[in-house]
Amino acid sequence: MKRKDGPKGLDRRKKIALGVIPIMALALMGGVIFLTVKKGGADQTGQMGGPGRADGFGENVITASGSTSVGMQEETFDLDYIETELKIEEVYLSSGDEVEEGTPILKLTDESVEAARRELEQKSVQASLDYRQQLLDSEEEKITAKQTYDTSMTKGTYASYTYEESLKEYADKISDLQEQVEEAQELVNEYTDSVENDYYYSYYEVAEKKEEFEKSFAALMQLYEDWDIPGLEDHYRTTAGSSSSASGQSVSSVQSGASYQQAAGGGQAGSGAGLTSENNYTKLTVYNLLDEEVQENEKIYDQAAEDYEAAKKKAESSLAQAQSNLKLLNTQLEEAQIAYDKQQVSSQSDYDAAAAESSSAQEVYEAELSRIEEETSVALNEKEEARENLQEFEDTIGDGCLYTQSAGTVMMVGVRAESAISGNSMVLAYSNPETVTVTASVDQSDIASVSIGENVTVEISDYGTFRGTVSKINPVSQSNSKSSIYYSVTIELAGDISGLSQNLSAAVYFGIPESEEEAVNETETQE
């Protein structure tokens, strides 16, 4: 079986991890490691613990001290995504066995392998279905998000129009009531003026018509006094000097024919007995004509006075009605203004909300799209991960057997038949002189910046600089004091390592760019 490599495999799971452990560490697990750091041409022994941030290599470079280990390698079973219990049917190797790469280590029961395969196949199918459903949901959510965005932008575009439109009805009502109030006020003013200034007395010319009547009546009375016509004296004796209305009625009661007959009869007593019959007839005719004029003027005057009184009463009534109507209209205008002010507050709030929504619409829309894309990406990753897990299962133990990843001599077997194997289980350890590792101590404040698969630079005293790869991080912290807490990190060295031996002091640089490795070499050369 070939080992699967790649960033995903190194980052998400260690596959069949190869970790180098010191031969001494098999017996002294968790013991103190003494480190040596070369400086000024002399070796100085230091206590285990990372020196921290490296001076001269940037803020992101972390240094740690460690020592080399040669020839010891351990293999672990790290298919930790399998929930099914994998039972060991047979273990083929024991301590002292010489193995080549691809040598069978153990055999799993067919039932547990098949059950694990079904589990992973079901997870793969379900992940595929979930991804397809997520694609459908994503399209629907994108449409909804676009509709929400368009609605928000439309609200923002027409917010001002909507604001004005919501107040138009109230504003129109106020304007209409203001016009009505103005008209009512004008009507009140007109009626007030007509009543206070006695407009209708002048309008109907009451004074003029009264004067005309009194003038004609006075003329008639003058004729009566100047002309002594028989039969008139007794009739006008009681009416002379009376009111214009009473005098008019007396004048109208005179019968021209009777007066004329009395004047022409000559047999009746009267102060005009000395006038000739012809003269009396002429005077009576003139008198009667004047009398008719007086009666007509009286009627005109009486009608004018009657019209005046009626118009005055009507004006007073209309004034009262107009004043009442003006008061009502003013009340309605005040209520309309209050309603307008309330609506303005409400419309302003709606306008501000619409404007704010429109302003943030783009940001909200982009955030929603980002969320949808993230959920889709997660579903896709889960689908691919489930498929990869199934493939890795088949590549690793698909035939029911687990195989060695390199050659060497078996030093210890960590599994037994009829037991179960699970993720992170140490399967076996064996010597391999072709591998060299460095076990370094990283301070707890820096350990979060170190990751499996990370490339590092390693400086080994008197041997030069090497490139290495982080192969293991011990999740259990260690401490040599109350204030010093560190984690053990294993680095697998690359390149020509044939000259390296056990327990050489090493300085490990995490995060240093390859372009700056020369600086490390130059420092070593100078020393």
Residue 493 has pLDDT above 80, yes or no: yes
Q: Give the SS3 label for residue 57.
A: coil
> Into how many domains does the chain fold?
3
* CA pair distance 322, 333, nearest whole angstrom: 16
Report if residue 229 sits inside a domain: yes
Report if residue 134 sits inside a domain: yes
Report if residue 439 sits inside a domain: yes
Report if residue 194 sits inside a domain: yes
What is the percentage of the chain residues whose pLDDT exceeds 90?
27
* Per-residue three-class SS string for 122-163: HHHHHHHHHHHHHHHHHHHHHHHHHHHHHHHHHHHHCHHHHH
- What digits encode the pLDDT tens for the residues 390-404? 999 999 999 999 998
Res 229: pLDDT: 58
CATH number at residue 434: 2.40.30.170
* CA pair distance 165, 345, nearest whole angstrom: 14
- What digits encode the pLDDT tens for the residues 311-331? 888 888 888 888 888 889 899
Res 115: pLDDT: 94
Domain boundary among 349, 366, 385: 349
Domain span at 224: 178-349
User: Are 141 and 247 in the same domain?
Assistant: no
What is the percentage of the chain residues whose pLDDT exceeds 70?
75
Confidence band, pLDDT 50/70/90 cuts, at residue 177: confident
* CA pair distance 482, 101, nearest whole angstrom: 44
* CA pair distance 301, 306, nearest whole angstrom: 9
* CA pair distance 457, 434, nearest whole angstrom: 19
**E strands, 388-461, where?**
401-403, 408-413, 420-421, 425-443, 455-460
User: Are 366 and 430 in the same domain?
Assistant: no
Residue 273 has pLDDT above 50, yes or no: no
Report if residue 119 sits inside a domain: no
Residue 31 has pLDDT above 60, yes or no: no
| Token pair 């940001």 in the structure block, residue | 363
**E strands, 40-113, where?**
42-46, 52-53, 62-77, 86-91, 98-99, 104-108
User: Are 148 and 188 in the same domain?
Assistant: no
Q: Count the alpha carbons within 13 Å of 219 in the hemisphere toward its beta carbon.
A: 16
User: Are 186 and 320 in the same domain?
Assistant: yes
Domain boundary among 292, 325, 349: 349
Res 382: pLDDT: 93
Residue 236 has pLDDT above 60, yes or no: no
Confidence band, pLDDT 50/70/90 cuts, at residue 154: confident
Q: Which of 185-199, 389-403, 468-482 has the lowest mean pLDDT?
A: 468-482
User: Are 244 and 363 in the same domain?
Assistant: no
Residue 31 vs residues 48, 488, 491, 504: alpha-carbon distances, Å: 11, 12, 19, 17
User: Are 383 and 278 in the same domain?
Assistant: no
Look up residue 318 and give its two tokens: 């209309």
User: Are 359 and 486 in the same domain?
Assistant: no
Report if residue 384 sits inside a domain: yes
- What digits encode the pLDDT tens for the residues 331-351? 988 988 898 888 888 877 777
Q: Give the SS3 label for residue 77.
A: strand
**Rg of the chain taking only CA atoms, in angstroms:** 63
